[in-house]
Amino acid sequence: MTDIFSILIVDDEASVRDSLYSWFIEDGYEVVCAENAKIALEILESRNFDIILADIKMPGMDGLEMHRRIKALNKDAIVIIMTAFASVDTAVRALKDGAYDYVTKPFDPDDLSHLIRNATKQLSLQAENESLKEKAVYLENVEDLIGNSEAMQKVLKEVANVAQSSSSVIITGESGTGKELIARAIHSNSSRKFFPIVSVHCGALSESLLESELFGHEKGAFTGAMFNRKGRFEMADGGTIFLDEIATISTKMQIELLRVLESKSFMRVGGNKEISSDFRVICATNRDLKKLVENGTFREDLYYRLNVVNIIVPPLRERFEDIPPLVDHFIKKYCTAMSRDVIPIDPAAIKRLQEFEFPGNVRELENMIERAIVIGNGKEIRLKDLPLGKDMIDNTVESLDDLEKKHVLQILIKYDWNISRAAKALKVDRVTLYNKIKKHDLKPKS
Amino acid sequence: MNKQYITIISYGHFERDFLTKIAESVFHEYGYTVVIEENHLDMTEYYDPSRRQYDGNKLLTEINAHCQAEAIKTVGLFSVDLFIPILTYIFGQAFLHGRSGIASVYRLRNELYGMQQNNELLLARFVKVVLHELGHNFGLKHCHSPGCVMLSSTYVEDIDQKNAGLCPQCRIEIGDSILSV
């Protein structure tokens, strides 16, 4: 199955076909339209569609008859019957004949989205069943998980294995080792890849904010809650929820999380309606959760519910052989982002990098390379461009962001805020410069 | 210097300050100068009495027909309730990879939901709808990334939950589109 679902729209009204076409194209579907059943059946002789959306009342063959013929050719076809004239009789006939659903026009936008989403979920499950039968497993979308070291290859193998199931995963590793990247790799290699992966940084939120963020809230649940708000569990329906810094959540939240994981249902804060959501949980932590269970700060039952699979990500200092390919990757990334030619790195610099401890792991390495590209001579990365020793630290600049902001502002002032000339001097394109202006909130003095 | 610009045309008696703030947000996100215009349409031509709403498809076609050659994109701003045949309502609409879009404040007002008027929130919502429709003009489809302005919104609270900006992936995708204009 491809990543893009295809929809065939069959309706005699051009305005309906055009509207549905625009709606679904914007949602990323492949869409073909047919103005009557005869044309639709001719199209279906030459190719399949994942979903067929068919009107009942059409000149010539009606939608119900067309549906029966489609089902005769392909019993698994997902056909949704739509009509502006709802009747119980036709609805029952359509559903008895195997229609996926029966809907009346005009649709509520949310109903239409849910309808198609549920249909694509069913298709995903069918595809998962087929793919599980295949023996070969390969990983997609792992370009950012760089490393030929034995340690990283082990991690990638674990990602490939765990992606095939919906088991909960705990990813353990020091800060900056790429735990979120691994979570995204698991998601994008699973059958849930057609649905969102939703991230929550548990460590950044207070208990009450985290509760509202995860479960959502109803209008009026607390001061300032003026509208209903979907929580992250709801947003992750069909997909994956990634809970970063899981060790930081309070005991109360641990109890609530356990209940949700067991029942896959919950209520919004201030609500009284049970909401179901089908999601997979991936957690990350830089703490030793087993030790936290032993000393009583993390619930044992929640630990075992989450820790079906544990992937341990090694720190960068334990896989120094991955530093050269990581450096290559970051050089390409930042040179491309700044619309510059890719530059080489001095072998002495690479050697020194491989001797460095990297307490901040891959994130620290990435930061170093980006900084070196910004402040360097533009021809190559030299040892002196890297802050690997005390004498290399610029005491007047506290962070890479500060350095960038100061430099961009200097150039803008020099060229009197002429964007084209400033961009040329900075060797970036205009879009990149506009993004930098917005990022640092730079404004000309009036 | 790039002479291309985006036009936003007010058809809904919006205050100048309101329009200026929308223009500033569009400039910050997409990097083009924004020209504000005001215009009038005989809205009765677009009114469907059976729906008691205004036809979004027809309005979009009208905006598209009157795009100026130098304007790379044009967005019409309305204050009436919009629909398209298949849906009960829309917040806005645009041609994917096209030159025009429309957006309405009607369903963004707190008062419609029995809440107290909030002009600041109304502006924030409207900015997001305009940025969203322009995103479609620049070739972006709906995004799954929570917070991205290209996330599909069916209710006004969905609009409140997203940011007034593109996610990194959409920014990368749109980069090519903007540079090729």
A350 vs A352: CA distance, rounded Å = 5
**Res. A330: pLDDT tops 90:** yes
| A230 contacts B161? CB cut-off 8 A | yes
β-strand partners of B94: B101
Asked if residue A353 has pLDDT above 60, the reply is yes
Q: Is the pLDDT of residue A10 over 90?
A: yes
In a mutational test of the A interface, the residue from B64, B86, B112, B150 whose CB has the highest number of chain A CBs within 10 Å is B86
| Shortest Cα–Cα distance, A295 to chain B (Å) | 36
State yes or no: pLDDT of A342 exceeds 50: yes
Name the residue facing B146 among A25, A235, A438 (closest C-beta): A235
How far, in Å, CA of A309 to CA of A297, rounded?
A: 21
The type of residue at A154 is: K
Q: A312: closest CA among A157, A189, A200, A192?
A: A157
At residue A222, does pLDDT exceed 90?
no
pLDDT at position B3 over 70: no
Which residues, 6 or more positions from A249, have their beta carbon under 8 angstroms from its beta carbon? Answer: A202, A207, A210, A243, A257
Among A432, A342, A355, A426, residue whose Cα is nearest residue A386: A355
pLDDT at A253 over 90: yes
Counted across chains A and B, CB pairs separated by less than 8 A come out at 95
What average pLDDT score do residues A216-221 get? 84
> What does the block give as tokens for A239?
């997909």
CB within 8 Å: B57 and A15: yes
Contact (CB, 8 A) for A426 and A373:
no
> Is there a contact between B57 and A20 (Cβ–Cβ < 8 Å)?
no
Please check whether residue B13 is in contact with residue B79, taking contact to mean a CB–CB distance below 8 angstroms. Answer: yes
Give the Cα separation of A70 and A98 in Å (integer): 10
Q: CB contact, 8 Å: B84 with chain A?
A: yes
> Cα separation of B103 and B91, whole Å?
6
A26 vs chain B: nearest CA distance in angstroms?
5
The continuous run of DSSP H or E covering A23 comes out as: helix A14-26
Q: What is the mean pLDDT of residues B56-64?
A: 94
User: Which of B24, B133, B157, B173 is an active site residue?
Assistant: B133
Nearest chain B residue to A438, by CA: B28
Q: What confidence score (pLDDT) does residue A413 get?
A: 83
In which band, very low, low, confident or very high, does the pLDDT at B93 lie, cut at 50, 70 and 90?
Answer: very high
pLDDT beyond 70 at A185: yes
* Residue A18 near residue B57 (C-beta atoms within 8 A): yes
Amino acid (1-letter code) at residue B116: Q
pLDDT at residue A339 greater than cutoff 90: no
B31 in contact with A at a CB cutoff of 8 Å?
Answer: yes
Put simply, the chain B residues between 106 and 165 with a CB less than 8 A from any chain A CB are 110, 113, 115, 136, 141-142, 144-146, 152, 154-158, 160-161
Interface test with B, best of A18, A20, A22 (most B CBs within 10 A): A22
Residue range A111-162, pLDDT digits in tens: 888 888 888 887 877 766 666 555 445 566 666 788 888 889 999 999 998 9
Q: Check B178 against A27: CB less than 8 A apart.
A: no
- Comparing B109 with A439, the larger pLDDT belongs to B109
Q: How far is A392 from chain B (nearest CA, A)?
A: 31
- A19: chain B residues, CB-CB within 8 Å: 57, 84-87
Say how far apart CA B165 and CA B127 lie, in whole Å: 10
- pLDDT confidence bin for A430, thresholds 50/70/90: confident
Phi, psi angle pair for A349, to nearest 5°: -70, -40
Question: Looking at CA atoms only, how far is residue A9 from chain B in angstroms?
Answer: 12
Asked if A105 and B1 come within 8 Å (Cβ–Cβ), the reply is: no
State the pLDDT at residue A141. Answer: 60
CA-CA distance, B122 to B57, in Å (whole number)?
24
Mean pLDDT taken over chain A: 86
CB A27 within 8 A of CB B151: no
Question: Which of B31, B145, B155 has its CB closest to that of A434?
Answer: B31
Q: In terms of pLDDT, which residue wins out, A340 or A128?
A: A340
H runs (alpha helix) in A300-443: 300-306, 323-337, 347-355, 361-375, 400-414, 419-426, 430-439
Query: Mapping DSSP to helix (H, G, I), strand (E, B) and coil, where does residue A112 land?
Result: helix
How many residues would you count in chain B?
A: 181
CA–CA min distance A370, chain B (Å): 17
Vertex A209 angle, CA A206 and A212, to 5°: 150
Which among A143, A141, A139 has a CA at the least distance from the CA of A333? Answer: A143
* Residue A181 C-beta-side C-alpha neighbours within 13 Å: 17
CB contact under 8 A, B1 and A107: no
Nearest-angstrom CA–CA distance, A146 and A330? 10
Among A24, A227, A438, the strongest candidate for a mutation testing the B interface, having the largest count of B CBs within 10 A, is: A227
- The answer for residues whose C-beta is within 8 angstroms of residue B120's C-beta and 6 or more apart is none
Residue in A with minimal Cα distance to B3: A420
Q: For chain B, give the secondary structure using H, E and C.
A: CCCCEEEEEECCCCCHHHHHHHHHHHHHHHCCEEEEEECCCCHHHHEECCCCEEEHHHHHHHHHHCCCCCEEEEEEEECCCEEECCEEEECEEECCCCCEEEEECHHHCHHHHCCCCCHHHHHHHHHHHHHHHHHHHCCCCCCCCCCCCCCCCCCHHHHHHCCCCCCHHHHHHHHHHHHHC
B133 counts as catalytic: yes
Indicate the DSSP class of residue A338. Answer: T
CB contact under 8 A, A228 and B157: yes
Contacts of residues A373-378 at CB distance under 8 Å and 24 or more positions apart, as own/partner, are A373/A331, A373/A334, A373/A335, A373/A338, A373/A340, A373/A343, A374/A400, A374/A403, A374/A404, A374/A407, A375/A403, A376/A343, A378/A340, A378/A343, A378/A427
Residues A60-89 have pLDDT tens digits of 888 888 888 888 777 778 999 988 776 777
Taking the CA of residue B80 and the nearest CA in chain A, the distance in Å comes to 18
**B157–A230: do the CB atoms touch at under 8 Å?**
yes
pLDDT for residue B1 is more than 80:
no
